[in-house]
Structure 1
Amino acid sequence: MNGLADLRMFSEIARSQSMVSAANRLGMAPATISGRLKALEDHYGVALVRRTTRSLLLTEEGKLLLERARPVLSGFADLERDMGGRRTAVSGGLVLSCAADISRVQLLSLVRSFACAHPNLHFSLRFDPPGSLHEIPFDAALRVGPVRDSNLTIRKLFSMETVTCAAPAYLTGHGIPIRPADLCRHECLRLDGSAFAGNDWGFREGEGTVSVDGRFRASDPATLKNFAVQGLGILRTALADVETELASGLLVSVLGAFEPEPQTVCLLSDSRRRLPARTSEFIDFAQAHVRAPLGVRETVSMLLPGDACEIM
């Protein structure tokens, strides 16, 4: 028995009451239809149709099979339609796996703009620790720095500037570091799972990497920023996330001449041929969004209805 294909064939035979008509509608040879009907009857061990000189009539067992087959075929047709729609409709839920040290300002700008363009899409933003992406479910992932995974498609998305900074009160009490090596004598606020703000802070060529320490660490960069503003230590973070604090003087940049080259943020996904429409659309949108001038992004956001831009 050939499962759904045989049930679909039998349903067509019952509808047309003609082997030839069923064969024409299904694009099959009458002999093939006849052979598969016989195999179906052999499978169940009963006759399903009664052949007459003019038509085919269903036996009692044939009527039972048709009755039970209809909801199966209808349900499968609904499944095919729904799954086919996933290839073209930007809907459902988009799960983004993000590294903890990605700039929240840049990330939320991207997500908010995409949410405005697709109000029927639901978002789940997760900030996952380092590790194999094969161990967690996601539609797309954002990671900082080099990524090695031959089974995923990796696209460079945007560059992220970093800054090392502290509150004036902290610098007054502990002194200002002149070179990166001076950080060994300071309270450094460390971000768990970060490629550039964890236990080892990298600087421009010639200064190398400095292993830092301190009493405070967290998995949330916003918490570390609050610690820094309160004068509890030196912070290493994305520049975009502390521009307001730097402009107001709550935080002061240190070691600016030694900051490393901007960090590369990569967008990872499965091969495009296996992606649902929501993920393919997000990839295309993300690449276009980061290439657009900042003013263009802001203008688009202001033109869209405010309610449609809320992310629940």
Structure 2
Amino acid sequence: MNCLADLRMFSEIARSQSMASAANRLGMAPATISGRLKALEDYYGMTLVRRTTRSLLLTEEGRLLLERAEPVLSGFADLEREMDGRRHAVEGGLVVSCATDIGRGHVLPLVHAFARTHPHVKFSLRYDPPGSLNEIHFDAALRAGPVKDSGLTIRKLFTMETVTAATPGYLAEHGIPASPEALGDHDCLRLEGSMIGGDVWTFEAGAQRSIAVGGRFRASDPETLKTLSLQGLGVLRTARADIEPELRLGRLVPILAPFEPAAARVSLISDTRRRLPARTAAFIDFALQHFAGGSSEKPTQ
């Protein structure tokens, strides 16, 4: 028994007071209507309709069923209209998950531009540590490097350069490290949950080098570490976009440039497009246009 469809059929029979009229309105054969009404009566174990030579009359139980069914049918019709509207209207909540490493200088201009274009979208912007995307709730996610979670759609957005830097004053006092290994003699500002600026910093120069770093300061907020760096309290490793103005003005000086790895690929990740609400689909399209030249691929299963 299909409860909702059968209640809808019963409501139409009650309105039409004719099996033939109900069948015509529902686009069904009269014999089918008759059979489904009998099945409904068998399900409840009582007669719902009395058939006369001229029309159909509801029994007391039939009237009760109709009275209780109509609000359910009306509510479901409202729900269908609302869900259809959600499928097409760019509105509602959008959860964007960014890896801790993703530069704010890349993400915030994108979010700001999209928010201005779509004022009815409410943002929840989160910075999450590395981990499986299957373990968190998100509508769209930005991640650097390879993404292994299956069943997700991955689109290339941009490449992100890493930079290691310190203030001129810090370098004058502590010296300029000539190699990644020399960072062991420096205060390195470490970002919790970061793959590029955490407790291990990875460099490349012929071969990959993973350097365990230490220092007096560790934080979960990259802006805090940036402030500490500008105060001359240590060496910072971050996305170049986040400190580009400070590098340009000479407030921070890049070091170890020959050892920095190639720019990391940053991807936009989502569920398959056929399941996406309009707000998520619009954000994906907007992000691809914003960064110009994004491509879409499915991971190997």
SS at match of 1:214: coil
Q: Is the 8 A contact 2:134 2:149 kept in 1?
A: no
Q: Provide the residue aligned with 2:167 in structure 1.
A: 167
Aligned-pair CA distance for 1:44: 1.9
1:34 aligns with 2:29: no
Q: CA deviation at 1:260?
A: 1.7
Which residue is equivalent to 1:234? Answer: 235
Q: Deviations over 1:253-297 (max 9, x none)?
A: 1122322211211111111111111111111111111018xxxxx
More strand by share: 2
Q: Does 1:252 align with 2:248?
A: no
Partner Cα distance (1:276, 1:70) in 2 = 29
- Matched letter for residue 279 of structure 2: R
Aligned to 1:276: 277
- AA at the equivalent of 1:291: A
- How far does residue 249 in structure 1 lie from its aligned partner after superposition? 2.5
| Superposition map of 1:45-60 within 5 A | 45-60=45-60
Distance 1:184 1:195 in 2: 18
Displacement, 1:50?
A: 1.7
Describe the SS at the equivalent of 2:93.
strand
Cα contact 2:162–2:261 (8 A) shared by 1: yes
Give RMSD over aligned pairs: 1.4
Tell me whether 1:23 sits opposite 2:23 in the alignment.
yes
For structure 1, the residue ranges without an aligned partner over 5 or more in a row are 293-312
Q: Distance in 1 between matches of 2:175 and 2:207?
A: 20
Once structures 1 and 2 are overlaid, which stretch shifts more, 228-237 or 34-43? 34-43
**What is the deviation of 1:205?**
3.2
- The equivalent residue for 1:178 is 178
Matched, 1:132 2:114: no
Shift of 1:114: 0.8
Q: Deviations over 1:42-84 (max 9, x none)?
A: 2222221121112112122211111110000011111112222
Could you tell me which amino acid in structure 2 is paired with residue 60 of structure 1? Answer: E
Runs of at least 4 residues off by over 3 Å: none
Give the corresponding residue for 1:155. Answer: 155
Per mean C-alpha deviation after superposition, the further-off stretch among 230-239 and 240-249 is 240-249
Deviations 1:1-27 (A, max 9, x none): 421011000000011111011111111
> Could you list the per-position Cα deviations for residues 63-113 of structure 1 after superposition, in whole angstroms to 9, with x for gaps in the alignment?
111111000001111111222222211111000111111111110111111
- Residues 1:75 and 2:81 are matched in the alignment: no
Q: Normalization by structure 2: what TM-score?
A: 0.93
- CA distance in 2 between partners of 1:205 and 1:74 (Å): 68
Matched, 1:189 2:189: yes
1:110 partnered with 2:110: yes
**Aligned letter for 2:107?**
L
Which residue of structure 1 lines up, in the alignment, with residue 43 of structure 2? 43
Deviation at 1:211, TM superposition (A): 2.2
Q: One-letter code of the match for 2:280?
A: T
- Report the alpha carbon displacement of residue 207 of structure 1 after superposing the two structures with TM: 5.3
Pairwise CA distance, 1:149: 1.1
2:249 & 2:289 partners in 1: Cα distance? 32
Matched to 2:171, the amino acid is L
Partner residue in 1 for 2:14:
14
TM-aligned CA deviation for residue 240 of structure 1: 1.3
Q: Distance in 1 between matches of 2:54 and 2:215?
A: 92
Match of residue 142 from structure 2 = 142
| SS of the residue 2:228 aligns to | helix
Checking the alignment, whether the CA contact within 8 Å between 2:49 and 2:58 is kept in structure 1 is yes
Larger mean CA deviation between 282-291 and 241-250 belongs to 241-250
Quote the residue 2:225 is aligned against: 224
1-structure distance, mates of 2:228, 2:13? 75
CA distance in 2, matches of 1:106, 1:254: 22
How many Å apart are 1:220 and its aligned residue? 1.1
Q: Is the 8 A contact 1:207 1:258 kept in 2?
A: no
Letter in 2 for 1:287: L
Query: Residues 131-173 of structure 1: CA distance to partner in whole angstroms, max 9, x if unpaired?
Result: 1111111101111111111121111111111211001221111
Aligned to 1:261: 262
8 Å Cα contact 1:180-1:207 kept in structure 2: no
Tell me which amino acid in the other structure corresponds to 1:103.
G
* Structure 2: gaps spanning 5 or more residues: 294-301
Q: What is aligned with 2:3?
A: 3
Distance 2:257 2:138 in 1: 36
**Number of corresponding residues:** 292
**Retained in 2: the 8 A contact 1:99–1:130?**
yes
| Letter of the structure 1 residue corresponding to residue 62 of structure 2 | G
